[in-house]
Structure 1
Amino acid sequence: MANFALEHLYRPAVNAAEKAPLLVLLHGYGSDMNDLFSFASELPEQYAIISAQAPHKMQPYGNAWYAIHWDQVGGGKFNDIEQAVASRELLGEFLEQVLEAYPVDPERVALVGFSQGTILSFAYALSYPQRIKCVVGLSGYIVEEMYAKNYRENDFSGLKVYSSHGSVDAVIPVDWARKTPGFLDELGIPNVFSEFPVGHGVAPQNFYEFKAWLEKHL
């Protein structure tokens, strides 16, 4: 895997006659590629699955797509936008390599993110919607500063979004996520938003709901 822009785990599709639809899993802050890959065995066999690892190593363990500077005033957070944009572009380079190296369908690519991975998924898909068919955004939110400058001029007609959030999330407030549907509606992007009575995580019913959504739209 040394020639790829990002370290990753790969599960090939089973019995795929043609190139398989591709799910690209993007983990959250402080995690690694093994985290969301634990979902792989529960996802349909017809999908090829890639779980990518964020490029920035954290101490003592874990990885991040970009730094978060914890602000002591009011407990707010500040995202390192420059690092996030660099990771957005690195993800694009990685996806090109994946499409070339593995038997996957470039017309059927979905990004499945959790937390910081969701924020990056939105940033990439809205900057380059022609490359992504679906986004599943779990426990994340919109950070418009991470998007390509003229992203609002893009053609979003081929993109669909599922997003969800825990109603008692103490890491990313649900109010931030509740802004996502209106933001996507404004851009004309078909989307579904669900809330579940959990914290910063994915409830079983959340998993089954986004899985069913993917089977319908990817």
Structure 2
Amino acid sequence: MSDLHYLVRQPVKEVKNPPLLVLLHGYGSNEQDLFSFASELPDELLIISAQAPYSMGFGSYAWYAINFDEINGKFSDLEQAKESIDKIAVFIDEIKTKYNTNPEKTFLLGFSQGAILSYSLSFFYPNKVQNVIALSGYINSDLLPTSFSKEIKTDYYCSHGSVDQVLPVEWARNSKPFLDNLGLQNVYSEYPVGHGVAPQNFYSFKTWIEDRL
């Protein structure tokens, strides 16, 4: 059992085996955050917004701790991150079974810390999701398997704010050459915003999702 708390938006139009979209929020946020735009997304989707397991108090949650000290500066708790990747993988399987979703149409959308884990999960659990939407995140080389499956068929939508003050855009720019090198389908775009999702960005990934339904 994954024991992750989550919100659900059932498909607006009845579908026997609905495509599944799982939302993973960023550090210090909660499951309400990305769920706010669920109503704007395609009617046939079953949309699940998961809450990260580590409480930071005052309605804030994290998928893994980010620590600060004078010697190491800012660093991530990689053990917690890997545990969360495994929890999310189990959670996706539970949701697929519970709601009888289309196993060939699973989308994983993450913002910031949620995007970092979305990338990682797609490599640790090949083809558990067919589509990754990574917003304002990057591929963390410390959260990758030692070897990559040649069977991965996942498509990637990657975007970042060009003036992001939280995660430098240079980190995100590495995603395209990395995915290209693995022969994986991907698109990368930037928007003139900070650490957030511009309206044009939203409509861009919405169209990307619609093209894959």
TM-score range, shorter chain: over 0.9
Contact 2:123 2:149 in 1 (8 A): no
Cα distance change on mapping 1:79 and 1:4 into 2, 3 Å: closer
Q: Distance in 2 between matches of 1:132 and 1:84?
A: 18
Residues 10-21 of structure 1 correspond to what in structure 2 (within 5 A)? Answer: 10-21=8-19
Residues 33-48 of structure 1 correspond to what in structure 2 (within 5 A)? Answer: 33-48=31-46
* Secondary structure, counterpart of 1:194 in structure 2: strand
Task: Give 4+ residue runs of structure 1 displaced > 4 Å after superposition.
Answer: 71-74
- Count residues with an aligned counterpart: 213
In the alignment, is residue 98 of structure 1 matched against residue 86 of structure 2?
A: no
State, as a whole percentage, how many aligned pairs show the same letter.
Answer: 50
Q: Distance in 1 between matches of 2:197 and 2:70?
A: 28
Q: Distance in 2 between matches of 1:14 and 1:103?
A: 16
Residues 130-209 of structure 1 correspond to what in structure 2 (within 5 A)? Answer: 130-150=127-147, 152-156=148-152, 158-209=153-204
Contact 1:24 1:52 in 2 (8 A): yes
Deviation at 1:154, TM superposition (A): 4.1
Deviation at 1:78, TM superposition (A): 1.2
TM-score normalised per structure 2: 0.95
- Amino acid corresponding to residue 24 of structure 2 in structure 1: L
Deviation at 1:10, TM superposition (A): 0.5
Contact 2:15 2:44 in 1 (8 A): no
Q: Distance in 2 between matches of 1:166 and 1:205?
A: 12
Q: Distance in 1 between matches of 2:23 and 2:31?
A: 8
Cα distance change on mapping 1:71 and 1:192 into 2, 3 Å: farther
In the alignment, is residue 23 of structure 1 matched against residue 21 of structure 2?
A: yes
Q: Distance in 1 between matches of 2:66 and 2:150?
A: 28
Q: Distance in 2 between matches of 1:170 and 1:73?
A: 22
Which stretch of the first structure deviates more once superposed, 94-103 or 158-167? 94-103
Q: Distance in 1 between matches of 2:120 and 2:140?
A: 7
5+ residue gaps, structure 2, are none
* Secondary structure, counterpart of 1:165 in structure 2: strand
Q: Distance in 2 between matches of 1:191 and 1:72?
A: 38
Q: Distance in 2 between matches of 1:17 and 1:29?
A: 33
